[in-house]
Amino acid sequence: MNAADDKTIVKDYFNSTGFDRWRRIYCGGEVNKVQLDIRNGHQQTVETVLNWLQDDNLAGMSICDAGCGVGSLSIPLAQAGARVYASDISEKMVGEAQDRAVAELANTDNLTFTVQDLEHLSGKYHTVICLDVLIHYPQDQAAEMISHLCSLAESRLLLSFAPKTPALSLLKKIGSFFPGPSKATRAYLHKEADVVKILNSQGLTIQRQAMTRTRFYFSRILEAVRT
């Protein structure tokens, strides 16, 4: 499958059945035990990033939230005073994020949402963040996307991804034997060493790292800074 096919599948999924499923997970709707576990895991990842950023004065800081979903990170960042430029490949996800922002924020002037894929993001931002997006893309595409995100970051890039380890690879293989209607996109794991190598090649070094691990959610979080 080529890059265009993968991207089309992801876009179509998150504009149809995937949108309803993930809106329930991210926005507090009724979910099953597995989805609740994923919700809690994703929120832990978001909170880790927010805790890291609290060390800085976010007022006026330009931040790109690439793959913003329903705005779980963008909204609190804007609330803290950052100038947030948030994007997602899914028009429905962006629409949900905009509705949530209007409902939760007194002023949305410092928060911009757009429908856009990672490859076509442009501009320069103090901080670029991309959480739980790389799982939809194989290593060769992920490498291009990480390099592109690095080119947008003036100071740092924060990434999260499902790490490729023997244990998680086995779990993924077992899970593939039980396909369901919600499994409409491929799930790609990435070796941390490969991700770090790409970041280093773009002039960034790892400053902080963390791991979110629940029963059904696994996410490695890296903060890479310019040296």
Could you read off the pLDDT of 31-53 as tens digits, one per residue?
A: 899 999 999 999 999 999 999 99
Instruction: Check residue 123 and give its pLDDT.
Output: 98
Band (28; pLDDT cuts 50, 70, 90): confident
**Secondary structure class of 144 (helix, strand, coil):** helix
Instruction: Check residue 173 and give its pLDDT.
Output: 52
Instruction: Check residue 186 and give its pLDDT.
Output: 72
Distance from C-alpha of 164 to C-alpha of 61, rounded to nearest angstrom: 33
Domains of the chain: 3-226 (3.40.50.150)
Instruction: Check residue 184 and give its pLDDT.
Output: 47
Per-residue pLDDT tens digits for 66-90: 999 999 999 999 999 999 999 999 9
- Please check whether residue 92 is in contact with residue 118, taking contact to mean a CB–CB distance below 8 angstroms: no
222 beta partners: 159, 209
Pick 26 or 58 by higher pLDDT. Answer: 58
Q: Strand 204-213 vs strand 153-161: parallel, antiparallel, or unpaired? A: unpaired
Buried b (16+ CB within 10 A) or exposed e, 50-72: eebbeeeebeebbbbbbbbbbbb
50 Cβ contact partners less than 8 Å away, ≥ 6 residues apart: 73, 76, 77
Per-residue pLDDT tens digits for 189-219: 999 999 999 999 999 999 999 999 999 899 9
- Sign for the CA dihedral angle at 71, 72, 73, 76 comes to positive
Per-residue pLDDT tens digits for 110-144: 999 999 999 999 999 999 999 999 998 888 889 99
Distance from C-alpha of 95 to C-alpha of 26, rounded to nearest angstrom: 14
**Secondary structure class of 51 (helix, strand, coil):** helix
What rounded mean pLDDT belongs to the chain?
Answer: 88
The pTM (predicted TM-score) of the whole model is 0.88
If residue 224 lies in a helix (H) or strand (E), which one and from where to where? strand 218-226
Band (180; pLDDT cuts 50, 70, 90): very low
Q: What is the dihedral of CA 37, 85, 50, 70, to 10 degrees?
A: -20
